[in-house]
Amino acid sequence: MPAVAKILSRGRMTIPKEIRKYLGLKAGEKLVFIKSQNELVIRRKYDSKT
């Protein structure tokens, strides 16, 4: 499921609608960016409630 996003001014990026829908992402959710060799992994940030 490849999708393309464009980096806008001030480093902003819109996650494509089909990706947001597929992952069930809602406004205000936080994401984590992880560098892994030659790729970037983006994951939903889960807050620990312990």
Q: Where are the alpha helices (DSSP H) in the chain?
A: 17-23
pLDDT tens digit at each of 50 positions of the chain: 789 999 999 999 999 999 999 888 999 999 999 998 999 998 888 877 65
Task: Give residue limits of the domains in the chain.
Answer: 9-44
Sign of CA dihedral 39, 29, 27, 23: positive
Q: Which residues contact 25 (CB under 8 A, 6 or more apart)?
A: 15, 19, 31, 44
Residue 23: per-residue pLDDT:
86
Residue 16: per-residue pLDDT:
93
